[in-house]
Structure 1
């Protein structure tokens, strides 16, 4: 029964995560924290939850990246620049996780996902900042209906921002896309579909680096990871398919509501626990 529950969690989280570039960890981590309150999963600690989530993100990232490569929406060059920051940040975040107890983790993670839900609420209402072509990298993209987009960023600013995103990813095991996608759209003018695909491309190496750190610290439950991986692999492909067929606004609204409810619950546990 435990395995069935975990496969379903991996499938749902990965489907929603790859649909909007979040990676799925923002759903896997709260789900595992909730399961940890049940007798069958009571041995799960925040560190093991994060380590196991990040390990499954490797397969979500790989599956999503392969699918997005086929429809040619991944900006590899920009993704590699962002990784200069997010890679070291994710390692540092994984190390910092060791210092948090259950109640502190619940409180900080609850506050974080409330913030993420706010970002998702306002990201469609914010306009990109003025873009100066002489200040950094300039990229162009033509979508599948022939629309042309021009976007770009300052490489130094991109590395610094992605370091912070990688750091938060390593601490909370959420893949980083929940912050990186809005950042790409608002600050760096990325077309939404390119932002999502590039975010999933970045999640793969970031998750690998964070997972290596967590494996070394003994923070991966291998049996649970093996149960989550099949759902994560299949769910990522489902999410990519939906990304090409649907407007994601309805899904984003559902995720906002879920995140707010889960965030309030975790903050309550962290304060009263």
Structure 2
């Protein structure tokens, strides 16, 4: 099983390096469906797995000044309370069965929403760009900080319950809210927010006894070289080819969890 865990980490890391999509969205379903790991343990472990694997990217984006720290702050003002509120709610549930049913349902919904965000990323960006000089959009701009905080709260709750949503879904929301930002800045900003959020949520799950540290180490042993290799090949592939494939895969997995729940 140790080798299988390392291979799973290698595969997911490779896909993330290849497409920039699919960390939690692939790892958590793989742990639950293929390895039979309980949803609570899978989500808990994957949160810390995501925090560690994304740390390397943060340094690169920060050095190139591609992180909008003010926007990260607005997101965290919502997502940290959202995560802590959700952790407190989970602790109040009676029995692991209730927790895992809620996690399965949230995981399915999160995967479906993520797949839509992957499919529609280019269209969302084009639409946001076309509306950025619209008078209505300009009048709404004053409310953007508050909307960003509310968005962060929703992401915090979703990520804490499913370990999915901080990547592709967070990026899509930033495109809508901040259409003037460049795509690298959006990715860098979302990445920093995701690292902090998954670290906080993962620490909360660890305190609840959900994190399997041995499993986490095996996954990281495979994923870190996988990301490196995937990134090497990813620069040669067109997003128009990979995004529909990833979107379809996430949609199928998400619907499976929704139906099962």
User: 1:114 pairs with 95, 112, 115, which one?
Assistant: 112
User: 2:160 pairs with 170, 174, 190, which one?
Assistant: 170
Two-structure CA RMSD over aligned residues (Å): 2.8
Change (3 A) 1:171 1:237: same
Q: 1:61-76 alignment to 2 at 5 Å?
A: 61-76=54-69
Shift of 1:71: 4.4
Gaps of 5+ in 1: 38-43, 138-152
Quick check: 1:23–1:61 contact (8 Å CA) kept in 2?
no
Q: Deviations over 1:193-215 (max 9, x none)?
A: 22222211111111111111111
Match of residue 151 from structure 2: 161
Quick check: 1:18–1:24 contact (8 Å CA) kept in 2?
no
Match of residue 29 from structure 2: 30
Quick check: 1:36–1:45 contact (8 Å CA) kept in 2?
no
Change (3 A) 1:181 1:167: same
Shift of 1:20: 5.8
In structure 2, distance between residues paired with 1:236 and 1:80: 28
Change (3 A) 1:78 1:240: farther
Match of residue 211 from structure 1: 202
Q: 1:163-202 alignment to 2 at 5 Å?
A: 163-174=153-164, 176-189=166-179, 190-202=181-193
Quick check: 2:106–2:162 contact (8 Å CA) kept in 1?
no
Match of residue 8 from structure 1: 7
Q: Deviations over 1:154-213 (max 9, x none)?
A: 211111111111111111012612311001112211322222222111111111111111
- Give the 3-state SS of the residue equivalent to 2:123 in structure 1: coil
For normalisation by structure 2, the TM-score amounts to 0.81
Match of residue 145 from structure 1: none
For normalisation by structure 1, the TM-score amounts to 0.78
User: 1:54 pairs with 43, 47, 51, which one?
Assistant: 47
Gaps of 5+ in 2: none
| Aligned residue pair count | 248
In structure 2, distance between residues paired with 1:120 and 1:62: 22
In the alignment, structure 1 residue 77 sits paired with structure 2 residue 70: yes
In the alignment, structure 1 residue 269 sits paired with structure 2 residue 226: no
